[in-house]
Structure 1
Amino acid sequence: MLEISKKSNLLEQGTYKYSLQDIKEPNLYRDMYNYDEVPKVVFNQRRVPMNMPEDIWITDTSFRDGQQSMAPYTVKQIVDLYKLLSKLGGPYGLIRQSEFFIYTKKDREAVEKCMELGLRFPEITTWIRAKKEDFLLVKELGIKETGVLVSCSDYHIFKKMQMTRRQAVDYYLETIKDAFDAGVVPRCHLEDITRADFYGFVVPFVNEIMQLSKEAGIPIKIRACDTMGYGVPYTEAALPRSVSGIIYGLQQYSNVPSEMLEWHGHNDFYKAVANASTAWLYGACAVNCSLLGIGERTGNVPLEAMVFEYASLRGSMDGMDPTVITEIARYFRDEMGYDIPPQTPFVGENFNVTRAGIHADGLMKDEEIYNIFNTKKLLGRTPGVAVSKTSGLAGIAYWLNEHYGLTDEKKVTKDSPLVVKLKEWVDEMYADDRTTSLSNKELEDKIKELTKSEE
């Protein structure tokens, strides 16, 4: 059957309808996922079209996936971070939603306190177990949408749930109906999709979800969860690891609209950000992230990274305030006692700090030479240098100007007497096999000593 595609506006063959393959033994993709070897990336040379939606946005899981990976947040910490998320996302709600646990009294108190703020964005949603009493709890709190776990790989269906594929589908569909009965909109989390039989299970299952949604007149979101971080962004990679293939298949063969499609990734193989960007590029409106990437095992997609990915792809922040990222990092350090690895992009202590003298010399001439962008304007952080044995005269001069805010005629140069004396002292410090950078306090004390001797 030939018909005009609403997506391409071209005459195309009618979409093939995939049927559930209710196999007796699980398909564990052992050729790809041999547990005793590094997972293999397989290519099939099939390319799908790039199809970025008109609108894309970020959703947050800091108070769900993030919180379960460290000491539980206090109610005050959750409220404070929620307000910062709203400020970061801007007036257009580019951080669209944030999901919360609601199991404990403290969880529910945090949700209620955040709701009392009356902020439009991020919308508060939840994540629950597939139980009727949990749906009723969501409704009692006045929350419209909740995430529901619908694991889709045979690892989970056969090994964890001890079900067949058909039994799993029937169980999931009944759960979705329970959500409808409770007056709650379900968001289906397709757990472990990068190890799932995509056309033998995922597509026919999602087709049944979409049919149920149509009959009930209630929209259902689909979250594609790369639970183990196996997804890859490479063009022409084979399923089930191909992120572009997953997004394309859910749209093309299950008719999931872009605005109902969300990507949730993990960073086990350092691909979380690249995979999330790929999901956007190939048709998902939403990518699910957590602050500082904190999440299960190696973490989730860092929310702050996707703020800059958004700006890279769209050419604008569209109302987002990236300086809030620095506020958030400071809050995690000072209020929560969280040690951010110093080399972490955008938020780490050493993110825009150089130790090389030749780099510092470049920064003195024009910071654009060795700074990735105007970090003072976009993040409220001026580029810095750490004084070490490789800093040289230029590094010491730059540190003095930046640390003490020296401008115009007060700025020191490589030839300034104070810089020369400090360089001699620094060389002495490292002559005795010192390996660490000099602290600001050490430098400040030495400067006081040198300037006092000159009086």
Structure 2
Amino acid sequence: MFGFSEKTNLIERKETEYPLQDVKEPNLFRNLFPYDEPPKIAFNHRLVPINMPDEIWITDTTFRDGQQSREPYEIKHILKIFDYLNKLSGPKGIVKQSEFFLYSKKDQDAVYKCLEKGYEFPEVTSWIRASTKDFSLVKGVGLKETGVLVSCSDYHIFYKLKMTRKQALEHYLSIIKECIDAGIKPRCHLEDITRADFYGFVVPFVRELMKLMEETGFPIKIRACDTMGYGISIPGTALPRSVPGIIYGLNHHARVPSELIEWHGHNDFYRAVQNSSTAWLYGSSSVNCSLFGIGERTGNTPLEAMVFEYAQFRGTLDGMDPTVITEIADYYEKEIGYTIPPRTPFVGKEFNVTRAGIHADGILKNEEIYNIFDTNLLLNRPVKVSITNTSGISGIAHWINDYFGLKEDQAVDKKHPLVIKVKEWVDQEYEGGRVTAIGDKELEKIVVEYSRKVGFNL
């Protein structure tokens, strides 16, 4: 069958139906996931079209997946972070939703207090397992949307749920129907989709969900969960690991509109950001993230990373205020007591610090040479240099002014006695055989010591 596509304005082969394959034995894709070896990346050389949606956005799981890998946040922390997410989101609400657990009184109290703030963005949503007992929690709190765990790989269906595919599908549909009957929008979390039989279970199951959506008029979101981080963004890779293939298949074969598709990635193989960007590129409107990537095992896609991925794709921040990212990082370290690895992009204390002497020289001449963008403007994080034997006396003056916040008439220049003394010490260090850069704390002690000797008040 062929028909005219209003989306592409071409005559195309219409989508075929994929019936459920209710197999007796689980398909574990042992050729790809041998377990006693690293997983394999297979290619089928099939390319699917890039299909960037009209609108893309970010959703947050800091208080759900993020809390699974660290001690629970205090309510005051949740409320402050929620304020920051609202401020970061901007007037267009690019950070559209934030999901919460509902299992403890503390979880529920945090949800109530966030709802009391009355923010349009991020919308408060929840997450439950596919059980009537969990669903009663959502009804009790009064949320408009909830995520529902619908594990889709045979690893989960056969070994965790102890069901057949048909039983799992029927069980999931019954919970989603309950959700709709209560007037709550369901978001179906297809756990472990990158190890699932895509055409044997995922597409048939999602088609049933889309039929249910057509019957009821209730939107049903599909979250593609790369639970183990197996997703591969390289074009031409084979399912079930192909991110382009998964998003295209959900959109084209299962007929899920882009605005109802969401990608949830993990970073087990260092691919979380790349896979999330790929999901956007091939037709998912939404990507699910957590602040600083904090999440189960190696973590989720870092939310702050996708802020800048959004800006690169769209050519604009669309009203998002990225300086809030620095405020959030400071809050985590100073108030929550969480240590951010210093070289973490955008938020680590040393992410825009250059140690190489030749780089430092370039930064002093024109910071665009070795800085990714105006980090002072966009993140309230001025570019920094680390002192080495090639930093020169101007580099030392720059470091002192920046580190101690000396501005205008307080600032020192390269002729200042303090700068000259520190330069002499630096030269002695490297003449004595030193080859490494001088750390901030080490140099701070030296500067303070010499400032007293030359009578300069820091």
TM-score category, normalised to shorter length = over 0.9
For 1:437, the aligned partner's letter is G
Identify which range, 283-292 or 24-33, moves more after superposition.
24-33
Report the alpha carbon displacement of residue 2 of structure 1 after superposing the two structures with TM. Answer: 1.9
Aligned residue identity for 1:215:
E
- C-alpha separation in 1, matches of 2:315 and 2:349: 27
- Tell me the number of residue pairs that the alignment of Structure 1 and Structure 2 aligns: 454
Counterpart position of 1:23: 23
1:290–1:301: 8 Å Cα contact kept in structure 2?
yes
Say whether residues 1:452 and 2:425 are aligned partners: no
Counterparts of 1:36 and 1:125, CA distance in 2: 39
Letter in 2 for 1:298: T
Q: Quote the residue 1:189 is aligned against.
A: 189
**Partner of residue 360, structure 2:** 360
* Change in 2 beyond 3 A, CA 1:409/1:237: same
Point out the more displaced range, 82-91 or 395-404.
395-404
Quickly say closer, same or farther: Cα 1:155–1:453, change in 2 above 3 A. Answer: closer
- Describe the SS at the equivalent of 1:88: helix
* Post-superposition offset of 1:397: 2.6
Q: How does 1:89-100 map to 2 (within 5 A)?
A: 89-100=89-100
State the Cα RMSD in Å: 2.0
- Bigger drift between 129-138 and 343-352 goes to 129-138
Q: Deviations over 1:371-396 (max 9, x none)?
A: 11000100001011233566443432
Deviations 1:129-186 (A, max 9, x none): 2222322221222211000000011111111111111111111111111212332211
Give the 5 Å matches for 1:76-115.
Answer: 76-115=76-115
AA aligned opposite 1:43: F
1:20-169 to structure 2, matched below 5 A, reads: 20-169=20-169
Q: CA deviation at 1:208?
A: 0.8
Q: Which amino acid aligns with 2:96?
A: R
Q: Is the 8 A contact 1:233 1:274 kept in 2?
A: yes
User: 1:216: which partner in 2?
Assistant: 216
Q: Deviations over 1:27-66 (max 9, x none)?
A: 1111111111111111111000001011100000000000
Distance in 2 of aligned mates of 1:446 and 1:330: 28
Q: State the distance in 2 between where 1:364 and 1:234 align.
A: 39
Q: For residue 428 of structure 1, report the CA deviation from its aligned partner.
A: 4.2
* Structure 1 residue runs without a partner (length 5+): none
- SS of residue matched to 2:189: strand
C-alpha distance in 2, partners of 1:453/1:194?
Answer: 62
CA distance in 1, matches of 2:445, 2:356: 19
**Distance in 2, Cα, partners of 1:316 & 1:438:** 35
The aligned residue for residue 316 of structure 2 is 316
Q: CA deviation at 1:433?
A: 6.4
SS at match of 1:173: helix
Aligned to 1:442: 445
Aligned pairs (5 A) from 1:208-357: 208-357=208-357
Partner secondary structure for residue 447 of structure 1: helix
Contact 1:135-1:182 within 8 A present in 2 as well: no
Q: How far apart, in 2, do the equivalents of 1:438 and 1:301 lie?
A: 30
* Residue pair 1:64, 1:100 contacting (<8 A) in 2 also: yes
**Larger deviation, residues 359-368 vs 296-305:** 359-368
AA of the residue aligned to 2:250: L
Instruction: Report if aligned partners of 2:57, 2:94 keep a CA contact under 8 Å in 1.
Output: yes
The residue identity in structure 1 corresponding to 2:455 is K
Distance 2:342 2:328 in 1: 15
**More deviation in 124-133 or 61-70?**
124-133
TM-score by length of 2: 0.95
Provide the rounded CA distance (Å) in 2 between the counterparts of 1:370 and 1:145. 45
For 1:349 and 1:336, how far apart are their aligned partners in 2? 16
Sequence identity percentage: 62
1:386 match: 386
Q: Judging changes above 3 Å, is the alpha-carbon distance between structure 1 residues 183 and 134 closer, same or farther for their aligned structure 2 residues? A: farther
Structure 1 residues 216-246: Cα deviation after superposition (integer angstroms, max 9, x where no partner): 2211000000000000110111111110100
Which AA in structure 2 matches 1:135?
A: F
Give, in angstroms, the shift of residue 421 of structure 1.
Answer: 2.0
| 3-state secondary structure, aligned to 2:109 | helix
1:293 aligned partner, one-letter code = G
State the Cα deviation string for residues 233-280 of structure 1 (Å, max 9, x = none): 101111111101000000111110000000000000111001000000
Give the conservation status (yes or no) of the 8 Å contact 2:417–2:454. Answer: no
Matched residue SS, 2:378: helix
Secondary structure at the aligned position of 1:62 is classed as coil
- State the partner residue of 2:170: 170
Provide the secondary structure at the position in 1 that maps to 2:200: helix
Would the alpha carbon gap of residues 407 and 76 (structure 1) be closer, same or farther in structure 2, given more than 3 Å must change? closer
Counterpart CA distance in 1 for 2:130 and 2:410 is: 66
Measure, in 2, the Cα distance between the counterparts of 1:446 and 1:375: 31
Unaligned runs of 5+ in 2: none
Q: Which amino acid aligns with 2:289?
A: C
Report whether the alignment pairs 1:373 with 2:373.
yes
> SS of the residue aligned with 1:331?
helix
TM-score using structure 1 length? 0.95
Deviates more, 1:408-417 or 1:76-85: 408-417
Greater shift in the superposed pair: 72-81 or 397-406: 397-406
